[in-house]
Amino acid sequence: MSQIEPNEKLIQALSTRERPKKPSRLTNTGTFFWRALLKLKYVPEQLLDVTVFPIMFLLMFTYLFGGAIAGSTGDYLQFLLPGILAMTVVTITMYTGMELNNDISKGIFDRFRSLPIWRPSVLVGALLMDAVRYTIASTIMIILGLIMGFRPEGGFIGVVLAVSLLVLFSFSLSWIWTTLGLIVRTEKSLMGISMMVLFPLTFVSNVFVDPRTLPSWLESFVEINPISLLVTAVRGLMHGSVTAAQIGWVLLASFLLIVIFAPLTMYLYRNKR
């Protein structure tokens, strides 16, 4: 009898205790956002792609090609900076998929799937952290551009809207790489695939030159290139010449990328073995 009583008291104590509330979707997402943010603390080298490389690109292309293409580096900078900004941020979207693929190879992915959490929070938290990286890269390039002589005619509001549109498009583009991150075997394979896609899209666009100077067959491709549509809208917002149609095309492209690849990513995420 003496052995039963303590057990009964223990059961009674446990049964009257309130269960902790299940974390909300916002809390889950914030936790994984914080996890991604902490990686920067312990591996600060991850910021090289949003600090050193944008500075190198802007300085190199402005002073190497500015005189040859536009006649002066100052004039070319006004045209180039929005394009280089878009190219740099779009290029670093691949790291979302690479981080996910790295978690899979280390077994962390399986641990997350076993937790009683909102499943998309693992991916959404990482993507939101990448949006912070995109904003850091954009801020650095714009500050450097202002020092070099860049003068956006759209003013502060135009620049903020341009960066916001760029971050939104990059966020939607990142879903492609998260999808591939769940399919390919190694992060090196993902990097190779992403560069094979992004390299021609960014260089065969209106980032560096006016499409009207290109052959007609190439100009037709450049005009429908999603990167060109993005650069046109960003450039227009910064210089105060944007149209509603230019912004609309970017928003439509972003919407389609999310609608197609976000559900596909979650399907692969749930059924990954």
pLDDT at 54: 80
Answer yes or no: is 99 within a domain: yes
All residues at 6 or more sequence positions from 28 whose CB lies less than 8 Å from its CB, including other chains: 117, 118, 121, 125
Q: Find out whether 266 and 113 touch, Cβ atoms under 8 Å.
A: no
Answer yes or no: is 142 within a domain: yes
Answer yes or no: is 18 within a domain: no
Answer yes or no: is 1 within a domain: no
Residue pointed to by tokens 């180039």: 80
pLDDT tens per residue across all 273 residues of the chain: 444 455 676 666 666 556 667 777 788 888 888 888 887 777 777 677 777 888 888 888 888 888 777 778 888 899 999 999 998 888 888 888 888 888 877 777 778 877 788 878 888 888 888 888 888 888 888 999 999 999 999 899 999 999 999 999 999 999 999 899 888 888 888 888 988 998 888 888 888 888 888 888 888 888 889 999 999 999 999 999 999 999 999 999 999 999 999 999 888 887 776
pLDDT at 1: 46
CA distance 109 to 101: 9
Number of domains in the chain: 1
Answer yes or no: is 83 within a domain: yes
Answer yes or no: is 143 within a domain: yes
The domain of 256 spans 23-271
CA dihedral sign of residues 51, 56, 59, 65: negative
Answer yes or no: is 4 within a domain: no
Within 43-186, residue ranges assigned H as helices are 48-70, 73-91, 94-106, 108-113, 121-148, 155-181
